[in-house]
């Protein structure tokens, strides 16, 4: 009985949404075509398969989650959430992930997507896009670390192009001024509030010494550390990073207090001079962003709620549907190997 009711109401919804599409398809953005039920018929276990793979991967390699979250953010900010950042460079083309400004995305993150995609191809070949795999894997990994669950609508197609030349100017860097940071986010219709909430991602993962060396060595050419940093923290970083030029792999936790936990500690740190990157410290210094930092530092529920909304919004940036993209067979290659 209850089954029947379910079927009837589903059919009614399908009719309603079909007519909505007919009326408005010319005017609606691609993101409006995504839905949580996208693979319900074609690959009903997709979300479960992805979730199983990433849980195993995160247990065996705990750096996976932060790396994947950053990879997703970069993918979305360079031409949309379309898995263009997953394409490997080949003889025809230098891809986004190999852009000059050394975005140093970790191999673990690519490996997670590859594994999930391989598992999916066994169950439902050629159905689930790499862009959707990355979006779902990111959400599941955030939850694994203790972060909030949020809804991921599905139906993204994978990009037909990925070039290193598309990267410059589209990603934030720690030495940008607040005006520049705000502009990079605004390009993707992200507000100042979205930017501050998403920056809370720096509650996990790590940064290499080169990314904050100017704050701890020879700030303003003085030889000392940035005076806005907690002195003890700066000294510990100076000692940890002493050989960073010989060994560029040395890195520090983004959140020195609770490095592996997705919580609001990042904001508390930033207010106490324990922010790692210059851009982290800038959020506490600028009057446009400081009130939000104070709010999130005091109220984790407010942070989770704004982070959730901002991630849902980020996940829809520049998505491609229909013939604007494809379902890649392998996430690191276009189906047509001579594309670029
Ligand atoms: C506000 C501007 C931002 C700047 C300037 C910035 C910059 C950076 C830099 C320089 C690193 C260190 C990379 C390395 O040394 O390997 C980093 C790490 C990270 N970023 Fe950001 N980021 C920003 C915003 C974001 C956003 C919006 C997210 C996600 C929603 C994010 C997620 C991460 C994560 C998770 C890590 C750690 C990666 C790992 O452990 O592998 N960042 N960020
Ligand atoms: C980028 O990374 C490569 C290889 O890891 C390194 O040789 C190069 O010096 C780096 N470039 C910059 C600008 O950091
Ligand atoms: C910021 O850093 C990047 C790479 O580390 C460098 O290429 C760029 O010139 C710097 N920008 C400013 C404004 O210092
Ligand atoms: C030195 O750094 C401080 C704090 O970051 C800054 O306010 C000041 O303008 C800088 N001075 C110079 C000369 O760059
Ligand atoms: C924290 O933020 C949540 C969500 O915005 C709000 O409902 C709650 O009242 C806030 N709690 C306090 C103690 O301000
Ligand atoms: C593959 O891409 C190349 C280069 O863009 C193009 O010339 C060729 O027609 C494409 N082949 C197919 C089968 O789409």
Domain with CATH 1.10.520.10 in the chain: 34-171+317-324
Domain with CATH 1.10.420.10 in the chain: 190-312
Q: What burial letters (b/e) apply to 135-158, b meaning 16+ CB within 10 Å?
A: bbbbbbbbbbbebbebebbbbbbb
Q: Which atom of ligand 1 is nearest to the CA of 310?
A: 30
CB-count burial class (<10 Å; 0-12, 13-18, 19+) for 7: exposed
- pLDDT tens readout for residues 228-245: 999 999 999 999 999 999
Q: Ligand 6 test: best mutation among 326, 336, 337, 340, most atoms within 8 Å of CB?
A: 336
The span from the CA of 318 to the CA of 335, in Å, is: 21
Q: Whose CA is nearest to atom 2 of ligand 3?
A: 175
Minimum-distance ligand to the CA of 104? 1
Minimum-distance ligand to the CA of 338? 6
Low-confidence ranges of the chain (pLDDT < 70): 1-27, 100-104
Residue whose structure tokens are 């972060």: 147
Distance between Cα 220 and ligand 4 center (Å): 6
Distance between Cα 336 and ligand 3 center (Å): 36
Q: What's the confidence (pLDDT) of residue 18? A: 42
Does the predicted model carry a pTM greater than 0.85?
Answer: yes
> Are residues 271 and 289 in contact, defined by beta-carbon separation less than 8 angstroms?
no
The span from the CA of 207 to the CA of 318, in Å, is: 27
- Fold classification of 190-312 (topology level): Peroxidase; domain 2 (1.10.420)
The span from the CA of 233 to the CA of 274, in Å, is: 7
The span from the CA of 153 to the CA of 155, in Å, is: 7
Q: What's the confidence (pLDDT) of residue 104? A: 66
Q: Maximum Cα–Cα distance for the chain, whole Å?
A: 77
Q: Which CATH architecture has domain 34-171+317-324?
A: Orthogonal Bundle (1.10)
Q: Which atom of ligand 4 is nearest to the CA of 227?
A: 4
| Cα dihedral: 166, 171, 176, 182 (round 10) | 110
């Amino acid at each position: 009985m209850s089954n029947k009711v379910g079927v009837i109401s589903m059919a009614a919804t399908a009719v309603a949404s079909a007519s909505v599409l007919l009326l408005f398809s010319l005017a609606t953005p691609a993101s409006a075509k995504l839905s949580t039920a996208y693979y319900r018929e074609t690959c009903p276990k997709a979300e479960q398969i992805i979730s199983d793979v990433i849980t195993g991967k995160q247990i065996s390699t705990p750096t996976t989650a932060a790396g994947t979250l950053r990879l997703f953010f970069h993918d979305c900010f360079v031409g949309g959430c379309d898995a263009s950042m997953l394409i490997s460079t080949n003889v025809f083309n230098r891809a986004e992930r190999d852009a000059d400004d050394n975005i140093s995305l970790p191999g673990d993150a690519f490996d997670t997507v590859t594994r999930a995609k391989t598992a999916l191809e066994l169950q439902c070949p050629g159905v689930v896009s790499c862009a959707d795999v990355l979006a779902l894997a990111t959400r599941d990994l955030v939850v694994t670390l203790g972060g909030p669950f949020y809804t991921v609508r599905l139906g993204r197609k994978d990009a037909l192009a990925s070039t290193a030349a598309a990267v410059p100017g589209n990603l934030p860097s720690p030495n940008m001024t607040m005006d520049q940071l705000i502009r990079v986010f605004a390009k993707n219709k992200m507000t100042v509030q979205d930017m501050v909430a998403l920056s809370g991602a720096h509650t996990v993962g790590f940064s290499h010494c080169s990314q904050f060396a100017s704050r701890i060595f020879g700030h303003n050419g003085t030889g000392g550390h940035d005076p806005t940093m907690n002195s003890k923290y700066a000294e510990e970083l100076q000692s940890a990073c002493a050989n960073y030029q010989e060994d560029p792999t040395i890195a520090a936790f983004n959140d020195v207090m609770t490095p592996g936990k997705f919580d609001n500690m990042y904001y508390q740190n930033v207010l106490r001079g324990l922010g790692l990157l210059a851009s982290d410290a800038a959020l506490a210094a600028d009057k446009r962003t400081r009130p939000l930092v104070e709010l999130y530092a005091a109220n984790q529920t407010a942070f989770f709620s704004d982070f959730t909304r901002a991630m849902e919004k980020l996940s829809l940036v520049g998505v491609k549907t229909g013939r604007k993209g494809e379902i890649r067979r392998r996430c690191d290659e276009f189906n047509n190997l001579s594309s670029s």
